[in-house]
Each structure stands twice: as structure tokens, then as C-alpha cells.
Structure 1
């Protein structure tokens, strides 16, 4: 469809424009272009993908809401008591909810019983590494938060790590291009979130902000690529399991 090609080209141009604004340090303008880019990408997904998965679409929609709200916090100054940072809680809750939809999307496509039997050691190691990651990353900026904000940040990081761990297990189980793109997307999300945390609470170097944005662009590129793959090419040496092709 011509409109699909137009949206694809527009999304690419907006992504490059967004990165350019971040490089120039124009954060307000970059936040607006970033929100518009995610909206265009969601529209592209709806138009070009026939077999849309409701959980993946929910992830995109809620992420769009989070991005629009983030831009709203830049341009609208509401007279709200400073004792509670409502913007912080609402924005982060929306991002967490969007990632939980993505977690659910990955989980429903996995045979958990077979995976636990097949990868017991890997799962235990991932669990231990995830605990270490969540504690270390959250503790890095602990002094910047009050108690409630710290626990929200802890939960936020736990969801990010759960997302990446599930994507990795999903790839080990299916070993195909679709699961690989999904894994690469979640890894980029994790790097983007960690770098953003470092930019906000450790060192406000513009390069960190640019890298954060770059990883986010690549994350959604990989997410879109995986959504276009309908048939999986399974590599199953045991020939004991039968996998059904899935699509978004």
C-alpha cells in the first residue's frame, strides 16, 4: 500500500530528525518528534501488518500514551504541589504497563513447561543475574529518590530485566529470525533505559542522551521487523517438538 510506504519513509525521516535534535541538545523539540515518531510507527504497524497481535498492539498504544504524556510534561506547567511528583509516577507507570504488555506477548507464545525442562540451568543463571542487575542499577541512583520513588524504580528495572530474560529464553527455545529480532529489540530497550538512568542521575552528558535515543530507535526497528515475520524456521535437532508458526 502506498500509504504504508509513505508512513515508513516518514518514520525513518522523523527518527533521523529526532536523533539530530538530541545531538543538538534540543530536548523539548526532541521529545515532541519522538512522540510523533512512535505514533507513526504504530500507525505503520496497524496498516502494514495483517495478523496483528492484540498484546503487541497494546504495548505500542500504551507506549505512545507514555511518550505523549512525556512531551506534555515538557510543554505544560501545571500548578501542582511539589511534595509529590505526579509526572514521575504517571509517566513511569505508563512505561511499565507498556513493557508488561510486551512481557505478556512473549510469554503467551512460549511453552513454559518444555522450556523449564530444557533450560533449567540457564533459567537459574538468568534469575541470579537479573537480581544482581536490578539491585545494582536501582541502587546506583538510590540517593536521588525518596522511598516510594525508589521502589517504583526498582519495579521498573525488574520489569525491564524480566522482559530481556524472557526474550532470551524465547530465542533459545525457538531459534529463529523472529525471536532474534525480538531479543535484539529488548536488549536495545535495556541499554536505552540504563543509559537514560545514567544521564538523569549520574552525569548529564549529552552523548549519553544521544546513545539512549539511538538504542530506542533501534529497539523499535527490531520490534517492527519481527512483527513482519509470519513463518518461523525452526531448528529442532531432537525432532521431538512440533512448533506452530506465529505472527504479530
Structure 2
């Protein structure tokens, strides 16, 4: 019963977060997002039958990063040439969180089967990842310093790697869990790209609504897949499967 109440509360808070970010209430939005992630971690730890330590550490690190981002609003004022430690530490925590999410998938793959069936798609994805990361990160060129730009490039590379691993995992397994993980990863990538445009190109309310919406949807998919078990690899869909 408590778990159901917690899920409803999380959905309501998710809606509130989207509204706050869209209305540019950054401090309030940061507070709500940190609260959401804390409650989601509690929900996962308390009411998940088969827990994944990799997904657990993803939640813990991502939550800690958001708590630090919220704390930054109450930190000391920064002046020119000051180092924003909150920015660096929070983003490094996000990177580590996504790495744990990637490892969650990689440790469960049969690499011999994956490379024998998907070697060409893997090569294409690597080329596309390098191209996309370079194009996306260039939007911050001239705005960020060298170290900030390097961190941003690494962050975007990890995000694209997550999407590629999720796609390969779905192509290999072809089941509901891998599909939900892929959908969550797609939403994360959309959210991060739009958030980049929001902060460094054009601070528009519509972009605030969109990137926060994709972030909330991403975590809905991630939580839903965490409640399922892999059933693949499954055979590809065909009309023959419909025969009686």
C-alpha cells in the first residue's frame, strides 16, 4: 500500500518538476528533482524483488549529483576565475552514474554472439557517436573554458555510449525489459541535448518544459525495466509467430 502511495507521490512531484523547470524556477525545480530521486531510490530499495547493484549505484550517484546541484544554489558566490567545485563534482557523479548503467547492460551480454550478429551496426554506432558528440558539444565552444569543455565532451560521450549500448542490447535481446531500457536511454539523450541548448544557446521556457518532461519519462522507463527480468535473446518478430 505504501509503495502505491509513493508511486503516486512521485508522479505528482514529476509533474511539479516539469512545471517548475518550464517556468524557470530553477532553485525550486532542483529541490524537487533531488527529492524525487531520493524517494525513487527508497522505492527501488524497499520494494524491488531482484535488485541490481549496478542500477542501485546509478540511482545513488545520480541522486547525490542532484543533491549537490541543489546545494550549489546556497554555496558561496563565484567570481571570475573561481572554480565551481559543485559543477565539476556533480557532473562527475552523473558520469559515474551513467557508467554504472552501461555496465549493468555490458556484464549481461554474450559478446561472441553480439559481435557475430551485430558487428556492422556496432561500427556504424561508434562512428555516429563520435560525430554526434562533436557536433553537440560544439554548441558550448566559446562559452565554456578548456576544463569545462572537456568535462562536457566526456559527459556527452558517455550519454551517447549509453544510447548505443541500449540499442545493441535491444537488438540482441528483443524483449520488453531491453525495449524499456532503450526508451529510457533515448529520453535521457533528448533531455540532455535540449538541456544543453537551454543553458548555452537559448533559455526558452518551452525548452525547459521539454527537457524536464523527457527526464521524468526517462526515469519512469528506467524504473519500469528495473522491475522486470531479461527474457532474451528472443527470436525476431515475424508473421509466422502468429500462426496457430
TM-score tier by shorter-chain length is over 0.9
Partner of 1:145: 144
What is aligned with 1:189? 188
Q: 2:56 maps to what in 1? A: 57
Per-residue CA deviation, residues 128-177 of structure 1 (Å, 9 max, x unaligned), is 10010011011121111111111111111110010000000000000000
Find out whether 1:78 has 2:76 as its counterpart: yes
CA contact (8 A) 2:172 2:233 kept: no
2:106 corresponding residue in structure 1:
107
Provide runs of 4+ in structure 1 moved above 4 Å: 79-82
> How far, CA to CA, are the matches of 1:137 and 1:231 in structure 2?
33
Q: Secondary structure at the match of 1:143?
A: coil
Matched, 1:46 2:56: no
- Structure 1 unaligned runs (5+)? 238-248
Unpaired segments ≥5 residues, structure 2: 237-244
State the distance in 1 between where 2:14 and 2:146 align: 36
TM-score (norm 1): 0.91
Give matches, 1:203-222, under 5 Å. Answer: 203-222=202-221
Between 1:16-25 and 1:52-61, the stretch displaced more is: 16-25
- Counterpart Cα distance in 1 of 2:197 and 2:143: 12
SS in 2 for 1:214: helix
Residues of 2 paired with 1:151 and 1:19: CA distance? 29
> 2:4 and 2:193 mapped to 1: Cα distance?
33
> In angstroms, what is the RMSD of aligned CA positions?
1.4
Using the alignment, how far apart are the partners of 1:80 and 1:17 within structure 2? Answer: 29
- Contact 2:69–2:87 (CA under 8 A) maintained in structure 1: no
